[in-house]
Structure 1
């Protein structure tokens, strides 16, 4: 196996979307970021497998390109991974493409929309969201 490459074969996220098998490159670095990003349990495997490399968030901007963030399920739990932010942009929620939905860990915009509605309780294509791209630095 190549150094710095973690191979995970998972049956797929436990969310609508289907199978996902990828090589997740573990980026060199300390992975000791103090900032954190909260995720739902359904996102753990897609993040660790490299299927989920993007997230959309409401609210104010809290991410800086190059910063390392802990991935947690709650503030009180230990991180399950560390990710480095590679890009941040603002866009309308309704502008998500199928490629973006796949980066979010879903097979289609419709599957992503169902998950967004389940998590946030609404879908408004005109609402502005922060799109945060990231790469896996290390698993905990």
Structure 2
């Protein structure tokens, strides 16, 4: 049994310690926000926060997050960046959006008012095939501007 703290709630999970965190989140805990994309931690669709840092959950074994705080997109709702994505119509198909929102939320925690170059750097690991990247960058900058 592995004990995980996800979105502030402690869960005991009967799974192999090498099981990817993404599988436990989706299949055991019913949290569907993080999505399977590449399975290699390269596309960003599965990003969650571990102790406040965005990490790919598809290649993060659950043993490595025991005793740490895991936060999914469900755990940050509502968040200013989510509203900014709606206001800027930044999501198209939506597949990559939850991972991007998690990286954007971590950026805004570190830098409440990032500029465009900081946002682009923070979202660099995310792949979006819809062509909505510029709207996403505008949305994150807007969330920072709305941050007071």
Taking structure 1 as the reference length, the TM-score comes to 0.32
Q: When you count helix as a share of all residues, which structure comes out higher? A: 2
- Higher RCO (CA 8 Å, separation ≥ 6 residues): 1
Q: Provide the TM-score with structure 2 as the length reference.
A: 0.30
